[in-house]
């Protein structure tokens, strides 16, 4: 693979005078590298999943057409397994949050990111060919049920928490029926969070949007402002929700907007816990194990406060079990 990447880069640059530096891998199967050529830097992505690559390239071209801030793609290999893209700087928004905390600058970037998200949604309305998406065309029953099972299979079942199976699955389908009908609908980036936002001076750019689909407009808002690691202050979250509801005030009432936010919070919290369970408990990746307690705390606090949680008593009971569970002992037993 490295030899092929070298040939691809040599063909593009017309010289062997470049250096390749591998970036740390996250949860994805993709491999990313910084390429140094003279005084310039680029990002090389290597990925054998052609459908994922094609989705990324399609959305990149579309977003560029509407002058939305995403990395430019300079070259694609003949086998479509590699592409060379623009280097957007050294800092993700999550890194800036870690360095500065909740500073005035971070709040300004927080609000500007929300404004840019809305611009992505409105500029692409009615022009996206969702048949060219990676995994799902829209956030309907299939991906919703998948997210709920992700939580069940890789957290509840791995920890061997008891529950009534048919009751829980009936509740999952009830939740899916509500979520798939949430309004308004727009482009849904799916994994919209601070680590997928690049900051270079005053420029804010989005990356990792290859899993985008059609879905509830508030899903990405929720994914961003309620991400556990960023721990945005409550008044920032309220301001963000007020701002975003104002954007869509002609399409949806504030009551329906708040309902959509709550259901998307439920889905996002459960999906993230499933990811933590799979990457941490099954694949034994430390970062995800370390994130589990905060993720469990988030879903428990939400479930105790959400007025509609009583509609899903089996899921509510499962979440309460998680909150009382001796996670450290379970992790020790699994690792042994």
**CA–CA distance, 120 with 174 (Å, rounded to integer):** 30
- Two tokens, residue 56: 């990324």
**CA–CA distance, 216 with 265 (Å, rounded to integer):** 12
- Two tokens, residue 231: 């721990």
Residue 66 has what pLDDT?
97
- Two tokens, residue 264: 């998307």
Q: Which residues pair with 41 in a beta bridge?
A: 36
Q: Is 11 left (phi over 0), alpha (psi -120 to 50) or beta?
A: alpha
**3-state SS assignment for residue 187:** strand
Residue 331 has what pLDDT?
75
CB 4 within 8 A of CB 82: yes
Q: Is 105 left (phi over 0), alpha (psi -120 to 50) or beta?
A: alpha
Contacts of residues 78-83 at CB distance under 8 Å and 24 or more positions apart, as own/partner, are: 80/50, 80/53, 80/54, 81/46, 81/47, 81/48, 81/50, 81/53, 82/4, 82/5, 82/8, 82/44, 82/45, 82/46, 82/47, 83/44, 83/45, 83/53, 83/56, 83/57
Place of tokens 């939740």: 175
Residue 285 has what pLDDT?
87
Locate all alpha helices (DSSP H) within the chain, ordered by sequence: 2-13, 50-65, 93-100, 104-123, 141-151, 165-179, 217-225, 234-247, 254-276, 286-305, 313-324, 327-335
Model confidence over 289-307: pLDDT tens digits? Answer: 988 999 999 999 999 999 9
Residue 336 has what pLDDT?
65
Q: Which residues pair with 33 in a beta bridge?
A: 22, 44
- DSSP label at 194? G
Give me the domains of the chain, ranges plus CATH numbers: 2-86 (3.30.200.20), 91-335 (3.90.1200.10)
Model confidence over 84-109: pLDDT tens digits? Answer: 999 999 899 999 999 999 999 999 99
- DSSP label at 132? G
pLDDT < 50: residue spans in the chain: none
Residue 301 has what pLDDT?
96
**CA–CA distance, 315 with 149 (Å, rounded to integer):** 12
Residue 287 has what pLDDT?
84
């Amino acid at each position: 693979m490295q030899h092929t990447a070298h040939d691809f880069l040599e063909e593009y640059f017309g010289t062997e005078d470049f250096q390749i530096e591998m970036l740390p891998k996250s949860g994805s199967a993709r491999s990313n590298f910084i390429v140094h050529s003279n005084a310039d830097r680029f990002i090389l992505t290597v990925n054998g999943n052609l459908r994922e690559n094609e989705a990324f390239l399609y959305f990149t071209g579309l977003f560029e057409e509407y002058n939305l801030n995403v990395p430019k793609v300079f070259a694609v290999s003949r086998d479509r397994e590699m592409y060379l893209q623009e280097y957007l700087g050294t800092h993700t928004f999550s890194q800036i949050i870690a360095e500065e905390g909740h500073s005035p600058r971070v709040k300004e970037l927080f609000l500007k990111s929300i404004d840019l998200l809305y611009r992505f949604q409105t500029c692409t309305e009615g022009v996206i060919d969702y048949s060219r998406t990676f995994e799902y065309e829209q956030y309907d029953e299939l991906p919703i049920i998948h997210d709920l099972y992700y939580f069940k299979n890789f957290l509840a079942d791995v920890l061997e928490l008891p529950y009534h199976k048919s009751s829980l699955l009936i509740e999952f389908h009830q939740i899916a029926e509500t979520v798939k009908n949430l309004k308004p609908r727009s482009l849904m980036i799916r994994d919209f969070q601070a680590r997928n936002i690049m900051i270079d001076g005053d420029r804010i750019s989005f990356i990792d949007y290859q899993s985008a689909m059609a879905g509830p407009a508030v899903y990405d808002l929720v994914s961003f402002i309620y991400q556990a690691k960023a721990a945005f202050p409550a008044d920032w979250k309220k301001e963000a929700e007020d701002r975003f509801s104002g954007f869509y005030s002609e399409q949806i009432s504030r009551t329906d907007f708040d309902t959509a936010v709550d259901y998307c919070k439920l889905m996002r919290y459960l999906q993230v816990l499933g990811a933590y369970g799979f990457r941490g408990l099954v694949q034994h990746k430390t970062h995800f194990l370390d994130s589990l307690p905060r993720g469990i705390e988030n879903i428990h606090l939400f479930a105790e406060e959400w007025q509609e949680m009583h509609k899903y008593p089996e899921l509510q009971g499962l979440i309460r079990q998680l909150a009382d569970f001796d996670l450290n002992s379970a992790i020790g037993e699994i690792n042994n």
